[in-house]
Amino acid sequence: MKSSARRTRDIERQAGYLRPEHCAPPPPRGTSGTMWFIRDGCGIVCAVITWLLVFYAEFVVVFVMLWPAKNVAYSLFNGVLFNSLAFLALASHARAMCTDPGAVPKGNATKEFIESLQLKPGQVVYKCPKCCSIKPDRAHHCSVCKRCIKKMDHHCPWVNNCVGENNQKYFVLFTMYIALISFHALALVGFHFVLCFEEDWSSKFFDSTPNIVYRHSLKLTLFLTYGDTDFLPSECSAFSAPATVILLILLCFEGLLFLIFTAVMFGTQVHSICSDETGIEQLKKEERKWLKKSKWMNMKVVFGHPFSVAWLNPFATPDHGKADVYQYIV
């Protein structure tokens, strides 16, 4: 028995299925400087939340942990590193969100366009009945973007866009930089707790308590219950003790959650690129009909030719070199 996907392809091969006379002419193309942006309420909310979470991490790292520290070199080094990674993460997010992922011209399944393809006997074209466009090979329709996207991997609400042929590099960089700042934030929180709890916060109030576990438990209870700040030195935080502990715990939870999520997503994307098989193709178990390339070549197709530091730069548009162009005719 034929699969549902195979039956759909067989229907698309029938001459009467295309019906180019039912397609309206494609809308006029805008200027090359027109920004791509999906007006999806859920995606916009998720994108705003992403930026707010990064800003929250910035606030806690800079003003709660680094700014009050006495060691200027320590604060300067970690501040520059964290802020640089956060800036690259937000820049990658913006590029992934505002870059056309590879949308097929909508409504181009017209009689004139099909005739311009100069089909030969035996050649077929696929039409998307939802957006009335001629689909290139390996393109899929996105119900959120309402367009067919070339080499579509998935639609990500966190970047309010599809991840496709033209913006996969920026999405991979976004997941990588978010994972890095999450790990950095967790390391700073751990070091801050050890430094302040062991040396500063305990020295003025709990040195007489012999049991260190009991001392720390009692100290945390007083922090959260009474807000006693008599033993809080300026080099640990400019905020009250309860506020500092709560801010650090929330940052720790956020960093751990997003470290796991983005690290897994980063690994999944790199594997998908190296195998040259998108997430949708893996999910649908589509038959592989495209030319198989080496893993290194697949990486260069996404990040650009040749290998350079521009691979890590979200502002550098990748040069696909001699990458295969996804044709309308198969």
173 in Cβ contact with 273 (< 8 Å): no
* Pairing state between β 154-156 and 161-163: antiparallel
For helices 168-195 and 241-275, what crossing angle results, to 10°? 150
Which residues, in sequence order, are CB contacts of 157 under 8 Å at separation 6+?
40, 42, 43, 46
Q: Is 196 a catalytic residue?
A: no
In 196-240, alpha helices (H) = 212-226
Structure tokens at 80: 């520059």
In single-letter form, the type of residue at position 25 comes to: P
Strands (E), 61-135: 126-128, 133-135
Q: How distant, in Å, are the alpha carbons of 8, 9, 147, 162 from that of 141? A: 14, 14, 6, 10
Please state the φ and ψ torsions of residue 40, each to the nearest 5 degrees. -115, 120
Catalytic position from the list 128, 132, 142, 156: 156
Q: How distant, in Å, are the alpha carbons of 234, 275, 315 from that of 221? A: 21, 52, 48
Q: How distant, in Å, are the alpha carbons of 131, 134, 152, 169 from that of 147? A: 6, 11, 11, 20
255 in Cβ contact with 183 (< 8 Å): yes
Active-site residue numbers? 156
